[in-house]
Every structure is written in C-alpha cells, then in structure tokens.
Amino acid sequence: QVQLVESGGGLVQAGGSLRLSCAASGLTFSSYAVGWFRQAPGKERDVVGVISRRGFNTYYGDSVKGRFTISRDNAKNTVDLQMNNLQPEDTAVYYCAAATEYLRLRSQQCDYWGQGTQVTVSS
C-alpha cells in the first residue's frame, strides 16, 4: 500500500519559515517524480514545486519562485519543501504527490497523493 505522509505544517508569522517533509512508503521512490501542491479555501489547487526522479530537474510555481526550495533524499524516501519569507497568501493545505513522469506531475496528473498538511501564515 502506497503512503505519502506530510509533516511540518503549522502557524507562522509573515516573513517566517517552515519546512515541510513528505515520507513515502510502499513504492520504489526513486522511480517517481514527486512534488508539492497547495489549495487555499475557494481556490483551485496549484503546483508549488516538483522535482524529477533523481533531483536533476525542478519546477516552481511563479508565486513561490525564489522563496521555496524543493529537495529529495532517495535513500530516505523523503521530499522536503523549504519555505522562506512566507506570506498570508501562502496559507493553504499543502499536499505531497508522486507520479511516474515528471511532466505528468507538473500537470497534476498524479498517481498518489498525501492527505495534506495545513500551513497558516498570519499577517
């Protein structure tokens, strides 16, 4: 059974930082591109950042470029999202997801999804 379990969400003040982590099990992690997505209340789900199987390629949504960094550790089956200079508009539920193809992941055609972790940024 494939599981993606997110952790690290919480409440932070504007300008602060958080680091999200996603632990994967039940799949050959290095065979999957993985990424982070977010959905705020009343809004569509957006791509935050995705990373290819070996970590050579990354892609970020325009709103987080320069502030967020995605990384993965294939030995530990984890993918992290370092979020700096957080702003109230970053408030959302953040989801980890995996897909066999990097381009499918970028278009949110994911094979597996986590349950999500709430990130709230106060002004």
Residue-level pLDDT, tens digit, the chain, 123 residues: 999 999 999 999 999 999 999 999 999 999 999 999 999 999 999 999 999 999 999 999 999 999 999 999 999 999 999 999 999 999 999 999 999 999 999 899 999 999 999 999 999
| Nearest to 23, CA basis, from 101, 66, 65, 80 | 80
